Structure 1
C-alpha cells in the first residue's frame, strides 16, 4: 500500500497535522520531541511487520526524522553519563580518567548539536510531495473539452546527440537539433485534439470563440484589428547578455568572463526556443489570415535572444518583437503602465503591467517544462513574473516555496501564493487564449541553467521531446507538476551540469497555488483573491488532480471515475482511456 492510498483510506494528512502544530505555536523543543516520537513510532510500527515498507515515500520522510531524534536522545544521555563519571573520578583524584571523560563528554555534545541540526533540517525541508491523494479531483474543469490536457511526444523531435554546452556551441535551439517538421505535426495534432476540430483554422476559431464566450458571454471569433500577445520566457537575457552582446544582436558570445551569475551552464538555458512559436505564427498569419502587425512576441521585462528573433523575423518581419530597453535590431520597445493593474490579494503591494499586455485582446502563454529552485516548478503561471512592470520580480519570490533557495522556508499549504493572483487576473490568466508548455528539452534543477535528459518513461535518458497544451491552466500545471515531481524524485541522478536540487519539485506545498486556484476552500484565512480589485473574488480557475502513478499517468477522466483531468496523449498508446466518454477527436 503506498503513501497516497493509505492516506486516502485512513484520512490522515501529515501536512495538516504539521500546519496545526505551527499555527498553535507549540514550543520548538516540545515540537521537536513530538515529531521525533511520532516519526519513530510510525516507522517502527510500519516497517517491523513488513520491512519492504521502508521504501515507501512516507517512510523515506520519517526515516531521517527518526534517526536524528534517536541520535539526539542517545547523545544527550551520553553527555549526562560522561559528566557524572567525570565528577566521580575528579572527587577520587583520578585526573587522567577525568580528562578522558571530559573529552568524551565534548564528543557527545558535538554529536548532540550536529544531530539536532540534522533533525531540524529534516523537519524543515519536507520532501513528502503533495498531500492530496491520486485521482481525487477538485475545482471546476474548464475548456472546450473541460479538463483536457494534450501531451504530444515524439522522440524524433530532437537530436538525441545534441550536447548543448558552451564549449561545443551545439545549443539546443540550433536548426540541426530540432526537427521542425515533427514539431509542426506535434503542434497541429495537439491543437485539433484540444478543440475537437478537424482543421487547424477551425481549431483557432474555436479557441477565439471559447475565450470570448468566457469574457463576454458571446461566441465571437477573431475580429480584424484585435491584438494578440505571445508571452515567452527569456528571463536570463536580462543579465546573461552583456551590453556588447546586445549591440551585436543579442546572441551568445564566443567567450565570456565567469561571474557568480554568469556561468557556462547558463548558456543554452531552458527557455523558449524558436520552433513552437514559429509554428504558432505560421498558423495565425498564413492559415487564419491575421495581420502580422496585430501580433506581438516577447518577454516584456527583458530582451528576445537573437537565436529566436532571427528565425521568427525571417518569415514574419512585421510582427512586433518586444524589448524592454531599446529599439535597435528591429525591436519594439515596451514600457510599464502608469497605473497599477495587478493588485495582490495579501494587500501588501500592487504592480503595473506592460502596455502590450493591457492592450492585448488575447494572450498566448508559452512556457517551458522545468523545475525551479525557489518555486519548485516553473510553468505558465510563473511565466508571468516577467509581466509585472518592476525592474525585477524579486519581491514576488517571498511567496514561493523557498524564497531565497533555502530549504523549506515557506513550504506547506494554505499560504498566500502570488501565482494565484496572476492566474486570476483579467489581463493575464483570464485573458489567455491558449496555454503551451514546451517540453522538447526538459529543464534541469535550476531554472536558469541548461536542460538535461530525463529518465522516467517514455523519455528513458533522452530529451523530453514533448509538448503540452490546454485551455485549463490548473489542469495543465497539475499534469506538468506530476511529470516533474516523478522525474525529480531524489533517486534519478541527472547530468551534473544541472542537478544540484534533485528533489525540489517534491517539497511539500509546491502545488499549494494549484489547490487554491482550483477551489476557494483552500485559500488561507483572511485572503480573498481579487487581483483586479473588482470586489468580487475569483472563481475556480480549473481542476486539480494527481495521476494514479508515473507509469500509467491516468487521471479520473481517463479512468471514468470522476469529473477531473483528462490527459490525452499523442500517440494514444502512452495514456489509456478506460472511459468511453472521452476518446479521440470528439
Structure 2
C-alpha cells in the first residue's frame, strides 16, 4: 500500500512539474482540433446520404464545430505557405497562373457563347414527345405484405377540426377527435389485412410478420414487447412544441 501511495505522489509531482505543465498545454491545444474533426466526420457521414438531416438539431450543433475545423485547416495551410516563403513561389508561378487563367476565361466565354446560340436558335427537325423511362403501372421492386403491394390510404377531415387559431392542435375535440382517429385506424387496418374486425386484423398482422421472419405460424404472445414509431413532426413554427 505504501508503494502505491509513493508512486501516486511521484506521479502527482511529475504532473505538477514544468514538464507536466507542458503536457497539459499541448493536450489542451489538441482538444479543439480533435473534437472539431470528429464533428466534421459525423456531419458528413450523416448529411451526405440524406441532406435533409442537416436540419436536425444534432447536426445544427455539430456544424459550427465542423466548419471551425475547416477554417482551422485553412489557417494552418496559410501559415505553412507563409513559412515556406510564399512570396518567392508566387513570383515563380505568376506567369503560369496568368496563362492558365486566360485560357480558362476564353474557354468559359466560348462555351457560354455556344450555349446561348443553341438556346436562342430555332429548334431543328420534329420534336418527339418525352417518354418516361418507367411505364405507368409498373412499380419497381418486389411487393411485400399480406396482400403484396397493397397500400391503404385513409382521410377524415373530422379527425382534426382545429381552425389554426383558437386553442391548440393537440386539444381534445377542438384539435383532435379521438373517435374519428380510432375509426380511421380500424378501417385502415381491416382494409390492409382483408378482415372485418380489429382482433382478426391484428392477428393476421402478427402471424404474417412472424411467418416472414422465421418465427413460425404464430400470433402475438403475452409478454412480447411492441415498439410503435409515431411521426408527429409539427409543420407550424409558431408552436414550439
Shorter-normalised TM-score: what interval? 0.3 to 0.5
Q: Which has the larger radius of gyration?
A: 2
* Greater relative contact order (CA < 8 Å, ≥ 6 in sequence): 1
**Structure number having the greater strand percentage:** 1
| Length-normalised TM-score, structure 2 | 0.43
| Length-normalised TM-score, structure 1 | 0.19
**Structure number having the greater helix percentage:** 2
